[in-house]
Structure 1
Amino acid sequence: MIAIDTAIRAAAAEIELIGVTKSYDAKNVIIPPIDVSLRPGEFTVVLGPSGCGKSTLLQMIAGLERVSGGKIVIGGREVQDLEPKHRGCAMVFQNYALYPHMTVAENMAYSLKVAGVSKAERAERVGTVATMLGLADYLARKPSQLSGGQRQRVAIGRAIIREPGVLLFDEPLSNLDAQLRHDMRVELTELHRRIGATSVFVTHDQVEAMTLADRILILNKGRIEQFDTPKVIYHNPASVFVAKFIGSPPMNVLRVTGDGSHLRLADGQVVADFARKGDFQLGIRPEDITVGAGGSIRTEIRYREDLGSHEILETTIAEQNLRIAMPFGVEFDTTQTLQLSFPQARLHLFDADSGRAIPKAFAEGRPASVKEYQ
């Protein structure tokens, strides 16, 4: 028998969504037409707030939800009209979905038993997967005798034992505590590196997205805001929505006006040089703000959060909230007036109305069109 990790890597399939839509009636459109391609062997994280359509999108790929229009192509086959068992996908759910009366070994082997795989081969595959996931000592236990992390590993084992080309994860870590979530992220990263399945992972947790993904697909009301690597999304957000959604604390976004020479806040303070006129939204991450004598922007501390490794200062300028991330050990008085400067190389400019990013605005001294970004 071919090794399970080799078989899964060989089966890894491209997923294409072509004009895929989901609606329950004309007024209740969950996902407008969406076009996207997920590469074979890629770990894609679908990220967005509650109600944005990310779980619906995953369930349409799996076949648990019917599409309202468009095509789903997996490994070159149109599958939108196929039953889930014929799509070559395996799914890991949020609530584990284990059979409580079965042992770990029986849970993992159940799909093989239904498929008519011989008892000897089932035992061999269960042993291999259990060793891979650190479950070899728990095969005789029932789910009730396992920790949350162990149950999730059983659910993952039950999925990969079928040697699928596509692995689908629907918020699988949301029921775990913080330490277990961290440990499972490490385990999932190592597992993906070993088996190389095309993986689609749905979450609302940006830390999971940033640490697990090869690429992150960010959804907003069913529409794709940005689809790129974690590094690009963090440092070059395509919209105000992405800028505010990624980062902890998120990017500061301020309303500014260009007077032909500078960008100014509503109270007249200059935040950057800029040679065009008009209204814009200016973004800067809390860790990129410089505090010290010589800064042209003045504000007062409203609130402090000491997080041990660093400190967050809450301030207000021109009636807009601003957060500043400071390294550990810098002392501030809450009555102290701060002098701030915004390094121009770390600034992001967005259209005032659409919220879309204006690329290279500061490098070239002019706002580019949205088309230029895309």
Structure 2
Amino acid sequence: MNAIDPAIHIAAANIRLDGVSKSYGSVSIIPKLDVEFRAGEFTVVLGPSGCGKSTLMQMIAGLERVSGGKIVIGDREVQDLEPRERGCAMVFQNYALYPHMTVFDNIAYSLKIAGLTKGERRVRVDVVAKMLGLTDYLDRKPGQLSGGQRQRVAIGRAIVREPAVLLFDEPLSNLDAQLRHDTRIELADLHKRIGATTVFVTHDQVEAMTLADRILILNKGEVEQYDTPKAIYHRPASIFVARFIGSPPMNILPVTGDGSVLRLSDGQPVADCDLKGKFQLGIRPEDVLFDTAGNASAVKAHVRYREDLGSHSILAADLSGTTVRITTPFGSQAPDRNVLLLTCPLLKLHLFDAVTGKAIPGAFAATTKVMK
């Protein structure tokens, strides 16, 4: 634990949004949002382009004015405060470094503006540089650095201020795949060490699942689900979440319940269920199993395409007029047949309302029969 860590641990503050909304004229970006980001947690705001996640981030930072509601950081309402008064530091997608300044001067700039002496700035920057592996680059200009190094400089410039809140707006999107992976590890390690309340905006589900303590999933400015990565993956609150999380995403099949069984559109029974009406049935690709026992009631699927990835395979198959994807366990391959019989454990099935798309909890709680 170094000198900067305790200060940031103490400063960590919760963020509460009470009825926060944002609109531009008659266009509503965020209708009304009530959510709290817990002090010291790493929260990821996840959603597709245009869902309002960057707008939400900018309102917390003070770069956008709220149209309604209030933002509370710690015990202060901040929606009417200037960005510099909010105790937040932000890392942008494009780094936003001063090209004519050295790495040292870029990191130290906010401390200079705040009136710290040259000696104080040196101590703080040295600590941050060591934390981020930048000690050997302090005399270089941003143009002499790699993309990953420039991103670390941007992060260093943010944390050197010892902020109560760290805000990241898609900071990894300009990096290549390997650098994104490496930087994710560095960010996770950094958060463990400094403990600042962190809000991280991304459209990348891998970043969300690997970094977050909790994930807030936005859809058209509204919360679809706010929970831990495990809960969101295994208990999605809606079809939107089920399809947005997972690679390949969850299979969604239209089914009809007659009060005793759910049937696919071609009449094949898939699960015992006492509900009546039209529904959507969800099945994760890795939860679909190949029937090798010759079960006469297994559902029949026709293979359309195979992806052999070496460690495992992904199959695309037609099941009752819907394309489903099946992922084999690591180290195993799919049967080399064009027609497959499939089964799935009942407890791995998810049922959603056909109109609202919302999950129906406990739909299979009273049954023990597997998918056939």
TM range (shorter): over 0.9
Q: Secondary structure at the match of 1:46?
A: strand
CA distance in 2, matches of 1:164, 1:59: 16
Could you tell me which residue of structure 2 aligns to residue 103 of structure 1? 102
Equivalent residue in structure 2 for 1:330, among 333, 345, 352: 333
Other structure's SS at 1:364 match = coil
- What's the CA shift string for 1:204-256, capped at 9, x where partnerless? 00000000000000000000000000000000000000000000000001100
Verify the 8 A CA contact 2:253 2:282 in the aligned structure 1.
yes
CA 331–348 in structure 1, closer or farther in 2 if over 3 Å, else same: closer
In the alignment, structure 1 residue 315 sits paired with structure 2 residue 317: yes
Contact 1:96 1:155 in 2 (8 A): yes
Q: Which residue identity is paired with 2:275? A: R
Match of 2:362 among 354, 360, 363: 360
Aligned to 1:281: 280
- 1:131-146 residue pairs with structure 2 within 5 A? 131-146=130-145
Residue 329 of structure 1 deviates from its aligned partner by 3.6
Q: What CA deviation, in whole Å up to 9, does each residue of 1:127-182 have, x standing for no partner? A: 01000100001000000111111000000000000000000000000000011000
Match of 1:372 in 2: none
Q: Which residue of 2 aligns with 1:369?
A: none
RMSD: 1.1
SS of the residue aligned with 2:171? coil
SS of the equivalent of 1:255 reads strand
Which residues in structure 2 correspond to 1:160-309 (within 5 Å)?
A: 160-293=159-292, 294=295, 296-309=298-311
Q: Where in structure 1 are there 5+ consecutive unaligned residues?
A: 366-374
Equivalent runs, 1:332-347 vs 2, <5 Å: 332-333=335-336, 336-347=338-349
The one-letter code of the counterpart of 1:14 is: N
How many residue pairs align between the two structures?
362
2: distance between equivalents of 1:88 and 1:330?
53
The amino acid of 2:333's aligned partner reads V
Distance 1:86 1:50 in 2: 29
- In the TM superposition, what are the counterparts of 1:29-44 in structure 2 within 5 Å? 29-44=28-43
**Is this contact kept in 1: 2:45–2:201, CA < 8 A?**
yes
Structure 2 distance, partners of 1:178, 1:133, is 20
- CA deviation vs aligned residue, 1:88-128 (integer Å, no higher than 9, x gap): 00000000000000000000000010111111000010101
Separation in structure 2 between the aligned mates of residue 205 and residue 308 of structure 1, nearest angstrom: 24
Counterpart CA distance in 2 for 1:106 and 1:269 is 68
Identical columns (%): 71
Looking at structure 2, the residues matched to 11 and 19 of structure 1 have their Cα atoms a distance apart, in angstroms, of 25
1:85-96 equivalent positions in 2, closer than 5 A: 85-96=84-95
Report Cα offsets for 1:324-368 as digits up to 9, x if no partner.
0013442533x5210001210100011110000000110036xxx
Of 220-229 and 339-348, more deviation after overlay is shown by 339-348
Q: Deviations over 1:40-62 (max 9, x none)?
A: 00100000000000000000000
What code does the residue aligned with 1:25 have? G
Q: Secondary structure at the match of 2:123?
A: helix
Equivalent residue for 1:22? 22
Q: Tell me: CA distance 1:331–1:40, structure 2 relative to 1, closer, same or farther (3 Å).
A: closer
Letter in 2 for 1:185: R
CA offsets per residue over residues 287-322 of structure 1, 9 Å max, x none?
000112326100110001112221110011121111
SS in 2 for 1:339: strand
Using the alignment, how far apart are the partners of 1:329 and 1:166 within structure 2?
45
Q: So what's the TM-score if we normalise by structure 1? A: 0.95
1:199 counterpart SS class: strand
SS where residue 56 of structure 1 aligns? helix
CA distance in 1, matches of 2:366, 2:29: 39
Aligned 8 A contact 2:291 2:298 in 1: no
Q: Aligned residue for 1:125? A: 124
- For 1:351 and 1:331, the matched residues in 2 are separated by 32
Check whether the contact 1:272–1:342 (CA below 8 A) recurs between aligned residues. no
Q: Secondary structure of the equivalent of 1:168? A: strand
Partner of 1:147: 146
TM-score normalized by the length of structure 2? 0.96
Structure 2 residue aligned with 1:370: none
Letter in structure 1 aligned against 2:117: S
Alpha-carbon distance in 2 for matches of 1:256, 1:271:
9
SS in 2 for 1:363: coil
* More deviation, 356-365/134-143: 356-365
Letter in 2 for 1:278: G
Give the corresponding residue for 2:60.
Answer: 61
SS of residue paired to 2:28: strand
Show structure 2 runs of 5+ residues with no match: 368-372
